[in-house]
Structure 1
Amino acid sequence: MNEQLVSMITQLVVEKLGNNVSDKSTNQTTVDAEEPKDTLIKFYDTATSQQEEVPSLIQTNEPLIKLYHHESFQSEGSHVQANYFDPPFNGAAIQPFSFEADEVSESVQAAKQHTPARIGVGRAGTRPKTKTWLKFRLDHAAAVDAVYGEVTEGLLQNLNVFQVTTKVTDKEEYITRPDLGRRLSDEGKALIQSKCKQNPKVQIIISNGLSASAIEENVQDVYLALQQSLSNLNIEIGTTFYIDKGRVALMDEIGEILQPEVIVYLIGERPGLVSAESMSAYLCYKPRIGTVEAERMVISNIHKGGIPPLEAGAYLGTVVQKILQYQASGVDLVAKEG
C-alpha cells in the first residue's frame, strides 16, 4: 500500500475529530449561558430534607369532595376561576346540597287527615326516612305479636266465661290448617253441651282468631255494651264462652249443638300495618253445617281508631233485633228489607 496515501488519510481523520470536539464544547457553553429551567421531577436528599422545608404541593382549605346542584351550572353568572379542584366548567355561585323538604302539598295534608295510610312521608334519597322505616318495623312487629299472642286468663275471669278448644294443637297448625280451626275438639263439644243453655235466642261466642291483641283491647267494652243493649230490648242471651284458636265458620258447628236463633261471634281480625287491634263481630241467623258465607254479616274495624267498642256493642244489639224481626241475615236480610 502507498505509505503517502495512508499518511494523508490519517491526517484528515485527526483534523475531523478535532473539529467535532471544538463544536461540542461551543454548544455546551451556549446551553450553560441560557436561563436554567425547572425539571419536571425534583429529587431531594433525605439528609437535607430534614433541615429544609419541602414546598407544599397542595395549599388549600377546600374540601376534597364538593356537592353541586345542577341548576347552579345551567344559569349564567359570575366567572369562577378554574383550577384542579373545581368542576371543569363555569357557573353561578355554588349552593350547598340539601335533602328533600318535610313540607308537603295542601292536598296531601288534607288526605293524611282522613286516612292512617302512609302517604306524604317523604324520602331520604332513594330510601324511606329513618322515622318512617322504624314506624313500619314497629307496626310489623305488633302484627306478629297479635297473631302469636294469647288472651290472658284474667280477662276471661273478668268476663266470667269458660274456655273450649278446637282441633288445632298449636299456633303454627292454626295458621296453616284453617279447616282444623272450624271444628271443636271432643272435649270442647262435651263442655259446651254440659255448661251452655240450649235453644237461646242469642248465643254470644268469643275467640282470639288472628289477633289476641284485638280481644284484649276491645272485647270487654263490646261485650258489656252488647249485653246491655240486648237486655234493654228484652232479648234472651245464652251462655257465653271463649274459643281458643277458632275460625269464623266454627259458628256453624256451635249452631248444630245449641240450636240458637242468632249467633254473635266476636273474633280478632287479621292484623295489618295500620292496626293490630281490630276486632270483628259476625252475625248469622240459625247457622248450621252447610251455611254459606252470603248468609253471614259482619261489623268490622272495631277498635279505638275505627268503630269505638262501646258504640259497636250498642249497634250490634239493634242488628240482632233486625235479624230476629226478619228471620234472616246477610244477603237475605238485605233482600227482605228492600
Structure 2
Amino acid sequence: MDAHSIERIVKEVLAELQTNPNDDKSESDLEEIIFTSENKVSVANPHNIEILKRAQTLTPARIGIGRTGTRMKTYDFLKFRVDHATAQDAIWKDVSDQFLKQVGLPLIMTQASSKEEYLMNLNSGRELSEESVEWILKYCPRNKQVQILVCDGLSSIAVEENIPDLLPSLLQGLQMKNISVGQPLFIKRSRVWVQDQVASLVNCDVVVSLIGERPGLATAESLSAYLVYRPSEKTIEADRTVISNIHHGGTPPVEAGAYIADVIAEILRVQASGVKYAQLKAMR
C-alpha cells in the first residue's frame, strides 16, 4: 500500500470520527445489536445485491461482508466473535444432567477424568473407566443386533440439539424392521473408537456412535453417525461407515434417524461396514 492510499484511509477515518464523535453516552443511548441466523449483505453499494444474497443461501462461508478501510465492519466482526465463542462453548461445555434425564440415557464414563485430559490425551476418550465396564456387564442386555451410543465428542451442543429428534426416529426405524436393540447409552468425554470396546462387552452385531463433531465457525451443531459391523482389535477407520453433517442446516435429525436405520439393515444383511460395505453395495 503506497503513501497516498494510507493518507486517504487516515482521512476517511478522521472524517468518520468527526461525524460520529465518541462522546459519553448513557446506557440507554447505546445501540443494541441483535444477531440472527439470517445472512446480511453489508457491502456498500454492491454491483448486484441479488447475486450476493443468492450466494449466501448456497454456502455458510462469510461472503458479502463489507469493510471500513482495511477492517471488517463492526457487525461482521462481532458476528465472527459470536460464532467463535459458540464453537468454544460447544467443546468445553458438558451435556447437562437435565438433558440426560430428558432423553433417559444412562451415563457412562471414559478414562478421561477431565475435559483437559480428554482434549490432550486421545486415548483417554477411547477406553471406558473400570466402573463403567462393570456397569455395562451388569446391567446392559447382551447379544442384541444393534447397540446405540450417544457421545459428546467435541460438541455437546450438537448432542443436545439433535438427539431428541434423531434417537426416537432411529429407534422407531429399527423397531419397524424388527431389529433388536440394546440399552442406548450416553458416554461422556468419548471418542469414536470407544464403540469397539462397548461392542465387545455387549456382543452386538452393529454398534452406532452418534457423536458431536468438531465445531466450526459455520455451525457448532453438526453430529455424525459412525457404524461398524463386528469390530475387533484389527478394526481400522476404513471399516467404519460414516454419516455426517446431521443438523438442522444439513441433514435434519429426524430424516437422518430414518436413513441410519436403513443403512443398519443393509449392513446386517451384507455383514460388512465401511469400504467393504460400499463395495458390496456398488455391486448390487
| TM-score above 0.5, yes or no | yes
- In 2 relative to 1, CA 66–162 (structure 1 residues): closer, same or farther, beyond 3 Å? closer
Asked whether the equivalents of residues 43 and 64 of structure 2 are also in contact (C-alpha less than 8 Å), the reply is no
Alignment correspondent of 2:263:
319
Q: Show structure 1 runs of 4+ deviating over 6 A.
A: none
1:101 equivalent in alignment to 2:51: no
Unaligned runs of 5+ in 1: 1-64, 68-98
1:73-119 deviation digits (Å, cap 9, x = unpaired): xxxxxxxxxxxxxxxxxxxxxxxxxx962425354443222011101
1:237 equivalent in alignment to 2:184: no
Asked whether the equivalents of residues 43 and 65 of structure 2 are also in contact (C-alpha less than 8 Å), the reply is no
1:294 equivalent in alignment to 2:238: yes
Asked whether the equivalents of residues 127 and 197 of structure 2 are also in contact (C-alpha less than 8 Å), the reply is yes
Matched position secondary structure for 2:58: coil
Asked whether the equivalents of residues 161 and 240 of structure 1 are also in contact (C-alpha less than 8 Å), the reply is yes
Quote the offset at 1:289 in angstroms: 2.3
1:275 equivalent in alignment to 2:219: yes
Please show how residues 63-142 of structure 1 align to structure 2 within 5 Å.
101-105=44-48, 107-142=51-86
* Cα separation, 2, equivalents of 1:104 and 1:137: 28
- Taking structure 2 as the reference length, the TM-score comes to 0.82
1:134-169 deviation digits (Å, cap 9, x = unpaired): 000000000111101111112212222211111101
Q: Percent of aligned positions with the same letter in both sequences?
A: 45
Alignment correspondent of 1:168:
112
* Cα separation, 2, equivalents of 1:240 and 1:103: 52
* Cα separation, 2, equivalents of 1:280 and 1:118: 24
Unaligned runs of 5+ in 2: 1-9, 13-41
Aligned counterpart in structure 2 of residue 180 of structure 1, from 124, 127, 140: 124
Alignment correspondent of 1:307:
251
The amino acid that maps onto 1:322 is E
Asked whether the equivalents of residues 256 and 289 of structure 1 are also in contact (C-alpha less than 8 Å), the reply is no
* Cα separation, 2, equivalents of 1:148 and 1:120: 31
Asked whether the equivalents of residues 139 and 274 of structure 1 are also in contact (C-alpha less than 8 Å), the reply is yes
Alignment correspondent of 1:146:
90
- In 2 relative to 1, CA 109–240 (structure 1 residues): closer, same or farther, beyond 3 Å? same
The amino acid that maps onto 1:260 is C
The amino acid that maps onto 2:89 is D
Quote the offset at 1:222 in angstroms: 0.4
Asked whether the equivalents of residues 100 and 124 of structure 1 are also in contact (C-alpha less than 8 Å), the reply is no
Asked whether the equivalents of residues 278 and 302 of structure 1 are also in contact (C-alpha less than 8 Å), the reply is yes
Larger radius of gyration between Structure 1 and Structure 2: 1
* Cα separation, 2, equivalents of 1:252 and 1:199: 15
- In 2 relative to 1, CA 185–66 (structure 1 residues): closer, same or farther, beyond 3 Å? closer
1:259-308 deviation digits (Å, cap 9, x = unpaired): 11001111111100011111111111111223100000111111111111
* Cα separation, 1, equivalents of 2:248 and 2:208: 21
Aligned counterpart in structure 2 of residue 192 of structure 1, from 136, 161, 178: 136
Asked whether the equivalents of residues 208 and 215 of structure 1 are also in contact (C-alpha less than 8 Å), the reply is yes
* Cα separation, 2, equivalents of 1:66 and 1:280: 51
- Taking structure 1 as the reference length, the TM-score comes to 0.69
* Cα separation, 2, equivalents of 1:147 and 1:102: 39
The amino acid that maps onto 1:101 is A
The amino acid that maps onto 1:297 is T
Bigger Cα displacement from structure 2, 149-158 vs 267-276: 149-158
The amino acid that maps onto 1:273 is L
Asked whether the equivalents of residues 205 and 229 of structure 2 are also in contact (C-alpha less than 8 Å), the reply is yes
Structure 1 vs Structure 2 CA RMSD: 1.7
The amino acid that maps onto 1:303 is H
Aligned length: 243
* Cα separation, 2, equivalents of 1:120 and 1:161: 43
* Cα separation, 2, equivalents of 1:279 and 1:162: 20
Bigger Cα displacement from structure 2, 104-113 vs 287-296: 104-113
Matched position secondary structure for 2:183: coil
